[in-house]
Amino acid sequence: MSDRDASRLRRYQAAGRERLQELAEVLDGVPEDEFDIDHWQSCGVGHAARDPWFQAQGLGLSRAGNVLVDGELLLGAYGFAPVARFFGVSPTDARRLFSGTTTPGRLARRIRRLMAGLPF
């Protein structure tokens, strides 16, 4: 659902696959110098948490700037379980997607490969 009208967003809950597709689209617009895979606030999930569509889905930022998934604070390696649930992927796939050295463009490609059933 690419419609970003706030009044409609709050009534619409996407499935994990659609959330992944939307994340890849968000990542396509993230400059490399604003992306850091090692910190939840500036990785792909952090950038999604700033997007109104994802906020309506349950991502957000705490007052301190930490990423929240359905109200659950993401902390280090423990953040992969809520991210996996949110995006409808296995914890292993979440860890493989959202860790390691990458750029926003590479992460978007990895997401699209996962969605296509290809190795990523």
The answer to whether residue 7 is domain-embedded is no
- Interval 81-110: pLDDT, tens: 889 999 999 999 999 998 887 899 999 999
Write down the pLDDT at residue 77: 62
CA distance 44 to 39: 10
The answer to whether residue 8 sits within a structural domain is no
Asked whether residue 4 is domain-assigned, the answer is: no
Domain residue limits at 25: 16-115
Q: Coil, strand or helix: which one is 33?
A: helix
Q: Is residue 83 part of a domain?
A: yes
Q: Taking each helix axis from N to C terminus, what angle separates 80-87 and 16-28, rounded to the nearest 10 degrees?
A: 110
CA-wise closest residue to 24 among 54, 65, 66, 59: 54
Determine, yes or no, domain membership for 66: yes
Is residue 2 in some structural domain? no
pTM for the whole structure: 0.85
Residue 80 has pLDDT above 60, yes or no: yes
* Counted domains in the chain: 1
Q: Of 92, 39, 53, 49, give the one whose Cα is nearest residue 71.
A: 49
Query: Does any domain span residue 34?
Result: yes
Whether residue 38 is contained in a domain is answered as yes
